[in-house]
Amino acid sequence: MKRYILILGTLILIVAFFAIAQTCWADGPPPPPPGGGHGGGGNQPPGGGAPIDDGLSFLLLAVGSYAAYKARKIWRKEEE
């Protein structure tokens, strides 16, 4: 029972950390570039707007899956 409470408490702390961290990362949009443009057609962000969200989502999904696998493995070992 102690191990179950420890695992549950750890999972709650991890979820709380990510929930708080996500609100800390929320920044406003950057200011527009100065007049005259910067070599592109229109108001383009620096770096070309690289899509990093897909990789980040995949990484979080992989970490969550691995954590669930390990927690289930520990849980089953505790029941035996």
pLDDT digits (tens, 9 = 90+) for 33-69: 666 555 555 666 666 666 666 677 888 889 999 999 9
Domain-embedded: residue 24: no
Domain-embedded: residue 63: yes
3-state secondary structure the chain: CHHHHHHHHHHHHHHHHHHHHHHHCCCCCCCCCCCCCCCCCCCCCCCCCCCCHHHHHHHHHHHHHHHHHHHHHHHHHHHC
Domain count, the chain: 1
Domain-embedded: residue 19: no
This model's pTM is above 0.75:
no
